[in-house]
Amino acid sequence: MSVTEPLADKLKSFRSYVRKMKSYGEALDVMYWDLRTGAPKKGVGVRSEAIGELSAEMFKMSVSDEMGRYIEELTEPGVFGQLDELNRKLVEECKKEYDRSKKIPADKYQAYVVLTSQAESVWEEAKEKSDFAMFQPFLEKIVAANLEFIEMWGYEGHKYNTLLDMYEPGMTVEKLDPLFAGLREKLVPLVADIQKSASVPDTSFLKQSFDVEQQKKFSRYILGELGYDFDAGRLDESVHPFATGLNPGDVRITTRYLTDDVTSALFGTIHECGHALYEQNISEELIGTTLCTGTSMGIHESQSRFWENMIGRSRSFWNRYLPELKALYPDRLGEVSAESFYRGINVVQPSLIRIEADELTYNLHIMIRYEIEKKLFDGSLAVADLPAYWNEKYKEYLGVTPSNDGEGVLQDVHWSGGSFGYFPSYSLGNLYSAQIRHTMEKALGDLDDLVAKGEFAAIKNWLIENIYRYGKLLTPDEVITRVTGEPLNPDYLVDYLQSKYKEIYKL
């Protein structure tokens, strides 16, 4: 049945309304990016107020009577069935956001945005000074606000489920608990066996002084090799690496350079490149809609973790690119073989910092944050007790204890922005990426072969065709089932990690 003329007009008007909202969102993204990449400290207060004003306007549009009328008219049984797949999905997404946001008073939402904008800047200073007390009152207010929002939104089962669903639709504590417990059960013994191995990779060559300008040069070179489009993005510095996708033609990434570690910035850059490749290659027909983004944080993280670990930390990658890195640091790396470098960057060693953790113990970092967030929202853990509980969990899970809050409870930016429920997506990303990689190899052949030749276009194009171009048109479950032919299966990640690390440690 063809769309009638009145409906076509209504749809055009609705799409124009949504595009205006997206324009506000793009302006906000630029302002957030600026705050985290060098905005003057004295301007933070006024900037936060401006962000709050614009966010409030966008929020009001999302819950306005006009949006309500669009949703009511476009979801009528006789009308909704006439819409094509893209417009049906767009209406569904707007309705879900409308139903959820309508329950939050606009003034409360604006105050919350101002609070988190200020909190991110306070967090940066608190992290630098290792002073949790400085950040504590902001975090207490953020947690309290989220608890109030959860009561307004409503929840089933654990209160935390409402927050999980915001980042990974359909995910619950009831699903994650056994998944994480099973992963921990299988990976902890492997970590223990590795710790007993006599075949320990040498990492001394990684901890030297490495000129930052040369690091920047190499990071940009690798981004180009992987297919990052600099005409549709840029690379900057920030305290914590991140990616910001304004639209497919403007996807910015940042990294953090350390003078005593040549790989930290590089792998941070490749990680964010994975996010950016996703956002830069979403179908143009989705631009100006709420579907022009990744379908979930878990699927998004599957791409950052795939490119960082399964590509960037592979033996074939360094067989190809170590000569270029050695040319920049001949006196530092001149005598290091590709095999030594590969083993060195894949050393398994329980550590304090999540973003610098090896891919085997990384999931334990996520599980700690997951346990903490659950307790914050079921009332069994107070914000004031966070540093002590954090240190206790690191001792229990990883056998290490932070010497200060900067390398402990203050190390991540997420809570300052109110991103509770986000952390599990990192481990879900690891699970998705292993399963996607398994399917990709059946289609493209040995990935190591392609990497060794620098033929990343074949890999990227396969991902564009099967995942990237769809944006948010498909749910996470639909993506993984359509791409791999089965629901999420943790065995692929376990098999990948066991195969890789048993070989490295000669187990």
Q: What is the pLDDT of residues 369-401, one digit of tens each?
A: 999 999 999 999 999 999 999 999 999 888 899
Residue 290 has pLDDT above 50, yes or no: yes
Burial class (CB in 10 A: 0-12, 13-18, 19+), 192: exposed
Taking only the tens place, the pLDDT of each residue in 73-87 is 999 988 999 999 999
Question: Residue 486, CB half-sphere, CA atoms under 13 Å: how many?
Answer: 10
Distance CA 15, CA 169 (A): 24
pLDDT tier, 4 (very low <50, low <70, confident <90, very high otherwise): low
Q: Picking from 29-38, 160-169, 180-189, 326-335, which range would have the lowest pLDDT averaged per residue?
A: 180-189
User: Mean pLDDT across the chain, nearest whole number?
Assistant: 94
At residue 457, does pLDDT exceed 70? Answer: yes
Q: Give residue-wise pLDDT tens across range 220-243.
A: 999 999 999 999 999 999 988 999
Angle at alpha carbon of residue 148, lines to 68 and 105, rounded to 5°: 35
pLDDT in tens, 399-413: 899 999 999 999 999
pLDDT, average across residues 290-314: 97
**What local confidence, expressed as pLDDT, does residue 3 receive?**
55
Closest CA to 411 of 351, 459, 451, 487: 351
Q: Which amino acid is at 151?
A: E
DSSP state of 254: E
Domains and CATH numbers, the chain: 5-154 (no CATH), 173-504 (1.10.1370.30)
Predicted confidence at residue 334, as pLDDT, reads 94
Tokens standing for 70? 């669009």
Q: What is the 3-state secondary structure (H, E, C) of 97-165?
A: HHHHHCCCCHHHHHHHHHHHHHHHHHHHHHHHHCCHHHHHHHHHHHHHHHHHHHHHHCCCCCCHHHHHH
Residue 24 pLDDT > 70: yes
Using CA atoms, how far apart are residues 69 and 181, in angstroms rounded to an integer?
Answer: 45
Active-site annotation, residues: 272
Q: Provide the token pair at 355.
A: 């973003």
Evaluate whether 9 touches 73 at the Cβ level (below 8 Å): no
Q: Is residue 179 pLDDT above 90, yes or no?
A: no
The pLDDT score that the predictor gives to residue 370 is 97
C-alpha angle 145-143-45 in degrees, rounded to nearest 5: 70
What are the pLDDT digits (tens) for 119-132?
Answer: 999 999 999 999 99
pLDDT score of 71 more than 60: yes
Condensed to tens digits (0 to 9), the pLDDT of residues 95-123 reads 999 999 899 898 898 899 999 989 999 99
Q: According to the model, what pLDDT value does residue 267 have?
A: 94
> Has residue 288 got a pLDDT over 90?
yes
Q: 377 near 160, Cβ under 8 Å?
A: yes
- The torsion region of residue 366 among left (phi > 0), alpha (psi -120 to 50) and beta comes to alpha
Res 38: pLDDT: 86
Residue bearing the bigger pLDDT, 295 or 39:
295
Q: How confident is the model at residue 1 (pLDDT cuts 50, 70, 90)?
A: very low
Q: pLDDT grade, residue 5 (50/70/90)?
A: low
